[in-house]
Structure 1
Amino acid sequence: MLAATESAIRKSFVNCTQGEAKRMAVPNDLELRPWDDLDFLGWRDPAAPQRAYLVTESDGKLVGVVLRAAAHQTGRVRRSMCSLCLTTHLSDGVSLMTARKAGPGGRQGDSVGTYMCSDLACSLYVRGKRHAGPPMPEPLPQPERIDRVNAALAAFLRKVAE
C-alpha cells in the first residue's frame, strides 16, 4: 500500500458522513507505519475501543470504512480465526467487525460483518512480521496468502458498497 496522508484518509470513507470523518481519530504516526508491508491500514479508536477504521486502495483510489467491533464474551478461552488472513488467535484476538453499508442501505441501518483480527494487523500476520501464538502450518506460499487477504478484503468492501 502507498503511504497515505491524514487528509486523503479522511476523504476516503464511504460509509460515514463528512462530519464523522472529520471528527474521527486518525493515527498520528502515519509516517512510521510499515506501508510496504500493509495491504490495508487498520486502527482502533483509542477513545472508543469498539470503533475501528480500515483504509485500503481499490481501483487506484483510497477506500475507507468505519467498523464496529462486537463485544467479547468474557470468561471463555476459545480459538477464533480471522476471515481475511486466516490467522488463529486465542481469546479476544478476533472480533466480529460490522460496517454500516454505504448509501441508502446504510442510512436505513443495513450493515455487513466479518471476523477480523482485533488489532487489524492481518497484513503483518500473513507476512510473518507479527505472531498470534504458535504458527499453524500454511500450505500456500506468502504471495498467495497476501492475494487471499486482498481478495477477502475486496469481497467485504463490495458488500459494504452494495
Structure 2
Amino acid sequence: MHAFTEKDLRASFVNASLRERNALVVPDLAHVAWEDLDYFGWRDPKQPLAGFIVVPVDDAPVGILLRRTEQRTRARAQCSWCEDVTLPNDVVLFGAKRAGKAGRNGDTVGTLLCENFECSANARRPMPPAYLGFDVQAARQRRIEALRAHADGFAREIRDSA
C-alpha cells in the first residue's frame, strides 16, 4: 500500500457526510509503515464505537466509516478478513452504511473484523509449519493476498452501491 496524506484520507470516505469527514480525527501519518499494510484502519478514542478504514481499490483510496455494535458475541469470533485462527486480539462486528442513496435509505453491510484493525500484522505473522516440507513463505503470501481480496471486495461492495 502506498502512503496517503490526511487530505487524501478525508476525501476518500464514500459513506460519510461532509460533516463526518471534517470531524475525522486522523492519526499521525508520519510513523505509519505503509509498506506493511493492506488497508489502513484506526479508531478514535473520542468515538469508541466508530472505526475508520481506507482500502486501496485500483490504486485509489476508498474510505469507509464503520460503526461497531455494542453487543459482544457469545463465542469468540474469527476475523472475516485475516481469518487468523490463533485469535491474538478481539474480533467485533462492524457495520457500514452503503454509499449514496442506498446508505441514506439505511442499507448497511456488516463484517467481523479485528477490533483495532490488526489484520495486516496477523497475515504477516510467521506460522508454524503444518507438515514436513510446508512452504511457510508461500502460505504467508496466500494469507496476505486473501486479506487484500477480502478488503477490496468489502470496499467495492460499499462504494459501488451508489
Which blocks of at least 5 consecutive residues in structure 2 are unaligned? none
Which blocks of at least 5 consecutive residues in structure 1 are unaligned? 130-134
Q: Is the CA contact 2:72–2:92 (under 8 Å) kept in the aligned structure 1?
A: no
Aligned residue runs from structure 1 range 114-125, under 5 A? 114-125=111-122
Cα offset, 1:151, TM superposition: 0.8
Out of 126, 141, 144, which is 1:143 matched to? 141
1:111 aligns with 2:108: yes
Cα offset, 1:16, TM superposition: 0.8
1:41 aligns with 2:40: yes
Paired AA for residue 40 in structure 1: Y
Aligned to 2:124: 127
SS of the equivalent of 2:3 reads coil
Q: Is the CA contact 2:97–2:106 (under 8 Å) kept in the aligned structure 1?
A: yes
Cα offset, 1:136, TM superposition: 7.8
Aligned to 1:95: 92
Cα offset, 1:49, TM superposition: 1.0
Root mean square deviation, CA, Å: 2.1
Structure 1 pair 137/66, CA: closer, same or farther in 2 (3 Å)? Answer: farther
Structure 1 pair 31/81, CA: closer, same or farther in 2 (3 Å)? Answer: same
SS of the equivalent of 1:43 reads strand
1:72-108 deviations in whole A, cap 9, x for unaligned?
439x6x4220000012427x70010110000000001
Q: Is the CA contact 2:57–2:155 (under 8 Å) kept in the aligned structure 1?
A: no
Aligned to 2:69: 70
TM-score of the aligned structures, taking structure 1 as reference length: 0.86
Q: Is the CA contact 2:91–2:115 (under 8 Å) kept in the aligned structure 1?
A: yes
Which is higher, the Rg of structure 1 or of structure 2?
A: 2
Give the distance between the partners of 2:3 and 2:154, measured in 1 at CA.
22
Give the distance between the partners of 1:137 and 1:68, measured in 2 at CA.
37
Cα offset, 1:68, TM superposition: 0.6
| Greater RCO, CA 8 A, separation 6+ | 2
Q: Is the CA contact 2:41–2:51 (under 8 Å) kept in the aligned structure 1?
A: yes
Q: Which 10-residue stretch deviates more, 99-108 or 148-157?
A: 148-157
Identity %: 38
The structure with the greater share of residues assigned to strand is 1
Aligned to 1:21: 21
Aligned to 1:9: 9
Q: How many residues align?
A: 153
